């Protein structure tokens, strides 16, 4: 079967169209392109000239239509006489990733029950000359046998099915229906429901399109507020259409179909009112979010934005050209004198717009997009950090200080003393002892296992200290308060106080109540001076092969009793083979304690949702 043609409707955006066509000429010159131009005379002339220039580099069929012919009539005029079974829908400011779309075509050819196939979409939005963001708009497969099940699944987390390889007959049905009723805020969802009713929707595990929006172009969209429900009879007509589809394709009876259609559109209305499915509780573990294609598209999105990945190297030439095209389009005379947002096709074609309706600053009611990251237009890397900075304040005695066997060093993070940064290398400054510690091991472990941008370590642990020594009035309390005061006020920092102490109290025979009281006082100090900090209370009492149930119980009880406290590892579990002298850790002990502590603290780091 021959390659499906790419159909690009355009209207008054000669610069944007030129960018898309040049992009295709460079990256997919074997693509057969049909341009359906509904521009005014001036823009149409420019478009025709671009088409002529590119004629030698691209199989381009440029068709011009009267500017007053509505969009869907124009599309139908092109689609109806075509003989191709499959067509790729495009746009004058959206950039197809043709390798994916060719794969989608092959997949669709093998799947007679499916009507459309697509990859995920990358959305590039230029909201000011130097302000851009990149977002992921995943698609997912709807391969259920029953139309009802497909519609239910689609409506839970709708996605646009326009930028895809689609059966021509489906496109004709779609645009014939849209010709009768077009509501910009409900167009994608109505089309998606219609597609899902007619057949299966296939998603590929990669990105298939880069869609763009910029501050200079005009768009079909309602202007915000309650405008999206102003045409309530129109929405109810879409509901009736969907109910009719359910009756036709799913065999439901009329009342049940109407009831379900209302349910599906109620959700769509909610999403137009600003409530997005992906913001709802439990979404991240829903079957929609765990769809294999959507997961893979998400992984590709992450990789594109991470320096040094193969995906980024391969994608960068495309993205550079696309960003350049969008910047030039935004600054061009594309859509000049048109309203920034038009609620209907009629309003769009009745240019020019009143002065107050023009301009880049006007905001629409566009719903929030799934997974968006601000983009640096020079480096094409995200502007936001990958995660928070983790600040550890280590408090306790020898086994969290520098008394272990085997010095180590990490290239990740920094140890802080007196405001100075130093590498995390044993012995850690600020703590007692001159030998090895858990911290270089911990730093390497955290770098590999969590999404933190940086690690700062303040280690004030002192060998041979008791819990009482750190409590208010104790000889080391001031050391604690100084460290807490220095940590206060930092932004985007996750503060974690790690308490590992107890061996001395085993020797002293401290009672459970006494130990717990001291620990509670220490906790109160932390809470007062560094609100929001987590306090990880490790359980430790093993000294010279002896343990203290009183100490362990007190540590456990305090950790469980307070919201800001977390149970840390119970290092008494690490027996003689992890100790050099029955008390202090050997190399294996330091490794194991670092590993266990990393588990606890990694669990406190907010994780990016992977979809």
Residues that bind other proteins (CB under 8 A): 224-226, 229-230, 232, 235-236, 239, 259, 262-263, 265-267, 269-271, 273-275, 279-287, 290, 292, 388, 448-451, 494, 532, 534, 556-557, 560, 563, 566-567, 569-570, 572-575, 578, 592, 595-596, 599-600, 602-607, 609-610
Name the region of 221 (left: φ>0; alpha: ψ -120 to 50; beta: rest).
beta
For the CB of residue 538, give the shortest distance to other proteins in the complex, in Å. 10
Least distance from other proteins to the Cβ atom of residue 453, Å? 14
Residue pair 407/426 in contact (Cβ under 8 Å)? The answer is: yes
Considering the complex, what minimum distance in angstroms separates the CB of residue 194 from other proteins? 19
Q: Cα 476–481–483 angle (5° rounding)?
A: 100
Query: At a CB cut-off of 8 Å and minimum separation 6, what does 299 contact?
Result: 610
CB of 85 to other proteins, least distance (A): 33
Closer to other proteins by CB, 86 or 260: give it: 260
> Hey, which residues does 457 pair with through a beta bridge?
392, 415
CB of 610 to other proteins, least distance (A): 5
Q: How far is the CB of 193 from other proteins (least distance, A)?
A: 15
Residues 6+ apart with CB under 8 A from 563: none
- Please, which residue, 29 or 492, has the CB nearer to other proteins? 492
Instruction: Give me the half-sphere count of Cα atoms (radius 13 Å) on the Cβ side of residue 61.
Output: 11
Q: Which of 73, 6, 7, 63 is nearest to 39 (CA)?
A: 63
CA distance 581 to 585: 8
The DSSP line for 163-195 is: SSEEEHHHHHHHHHHHHH---GGGHHHHHHHHH
Residue with smaller CB distance to other proteins, 274 or 509? 274
Return the number of the residue (225 or 473) whose C-beta is nearest other proteins: 225
| Shortest spacing between CB 342 and other proteins, in angstroms | 19
In the complex, least distance from residue 598 CB atom to other proteins, rounded to whole angstroms: 9
Could you tell me the smallest distance in angstroms from the CB atom of residue 396 to other proteins?
A: 18
Residue whose CB is less far from other proteins, 64 or 156? 156
Name the residue nearer to other proteins (CB basis): 245 or 572: 572
Of 44 and 446, CB closest to other proteins: 446
Hey, is 80 helix, strand or coil?
coil
C-alpha to C-alpha distances, 337 to 37, 334, 346, nearest whole angstrom: 18, 9, 16
Structure tokens at 314: 């391969």
**Closer of 23 and 301 to other proteins (Cβ):** 301
Dist. CA 158–CA 383, nearest whole Å:
28
Cβ contact 135:384 at 8 Å: no
Q: Which is nearer to other proteins, 47 or 541 (CB)?
A: 541
For residues 119 and 204, the answer to whether their CB atoms sit within 8 Å is yes
Which positions ≥6 away from 492 have C-beta within 8 Å? 385, 388, 389
């Amino acid at each position: 079967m021959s390659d499906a043609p790419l159909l690009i409707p355009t209207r008054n955006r000669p610069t944007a169209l030129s960018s898309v066509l040049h992009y295709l000429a460079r990256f997919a010159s074997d693509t057969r392109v049909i341009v359906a131009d509904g521009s005014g005379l001036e823009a149409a002339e420019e478009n025709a000239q671009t088409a002529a220039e590119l004629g030698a580099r691209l199989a381009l069929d440029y068709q011009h239509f009267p500017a007053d012919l509505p969009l869907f009539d124009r599309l139908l005029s092109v689609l109806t006489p075509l003989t191709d079974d499959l067509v790729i829908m495009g746009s004058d400011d959206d950039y197809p990733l043709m390798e994916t779309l060719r794969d989608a075509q092959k997949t669709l050819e093998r799947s007679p029950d499916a009507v459309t196939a697509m990859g995920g979409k990358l959305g590039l939005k230029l909201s000011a000359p130097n302000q851009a963001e990149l977002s992921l708009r995943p698609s997912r497969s709807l391969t259920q046998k029953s139309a009802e099940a497909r519609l239910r699944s689609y409506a839970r987390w709708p996605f646009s099915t326009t930028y895809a390889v689609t059966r021509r007959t489906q496109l004709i049905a779609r645009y014939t229906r849209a010709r009768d009723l077009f509501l910009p805020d409900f167009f994608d969802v109505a089309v998606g429901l219609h597609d899902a009713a007619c057949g299966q929707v296939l998603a590929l595990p990669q990105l298939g399109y880069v869609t763009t929006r910029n501050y200079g172009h005009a768009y079909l969209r309602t202007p915000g507020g309650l405008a999206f429900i102003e045409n309530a009879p129109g929405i109810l007509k879409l509901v009736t259409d969907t109910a009719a589809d359910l009756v036709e394709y799913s065999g439901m009876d009329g009342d049940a179909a109407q009831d379900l259609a209302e349910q599906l559109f109620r959700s769509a209305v909610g999403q137009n009112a600003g409530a997005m499915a992906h913001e709802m509780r439990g979404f991240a573990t829903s079957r929609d979010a765990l769809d294999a294609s959507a997961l893979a598209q998400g992984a590709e999105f992450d990789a594109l934005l991470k320096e040094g990945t193969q995906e980024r190297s391969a994608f960068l030439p495309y993205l550079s050209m696309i960003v350049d095209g969008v910047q030039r389009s935004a600054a061009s005379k594309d859509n000049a004198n048109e309203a920034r947002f038009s609620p209907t096709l009629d309003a769009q074609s009745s240019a020019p717009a009143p002065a107050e309706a023009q301009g880049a600053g006007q905001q629409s009611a566009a719903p929030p997009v799934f997974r968006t990251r601000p983009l640096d237009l020079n480096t094409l890397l995200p502007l936001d950090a990958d995660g928070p900075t983790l600040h550890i304040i280590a408090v306790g005695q020898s086994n969290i200080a520098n008394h272990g066997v085997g010095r180590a060093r990490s290239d990740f993070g920094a140890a802080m003393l007196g405001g100075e940064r130093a590498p995390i290398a044993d012995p850690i400054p600020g703590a007692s002892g001159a030998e090895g510690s858990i911290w270089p091991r911990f730093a390497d472990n955290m770098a590999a296992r969590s999404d933190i941008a940086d690690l700062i370590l303040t280690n004030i642990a002192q060998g041979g200290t008791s819990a009482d020594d750190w409590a208010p009035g104790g000889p080391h309390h001031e050391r604690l308060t100084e460290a807490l005061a220095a940590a206060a006020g930092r932004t985007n920092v996750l503060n974690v106080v790690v308490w590992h102490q107890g061996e001395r109290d085993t020797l002293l025979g401290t009672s459970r109540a006494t130990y717990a009281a001291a620990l509670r006082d220490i906790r109160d100090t932390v809470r007062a001076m560094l609100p929001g900090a987590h306090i990880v209370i490790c359980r430790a009492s093993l000294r010279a092969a002896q343990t203290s149930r009183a100490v362990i119980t007190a540590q456990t009880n305090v950790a469980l009793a307070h919201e800001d406290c977390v149970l840390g590892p119970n290092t008494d579990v690490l027996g003689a083979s992890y100790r050099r002298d029955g008390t202090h850790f050997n190399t294996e002990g330091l490794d194991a304690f670092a590993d266990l502590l990393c588990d606890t603290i990694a669990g406190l780091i907010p994780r990016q949702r992977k979809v």
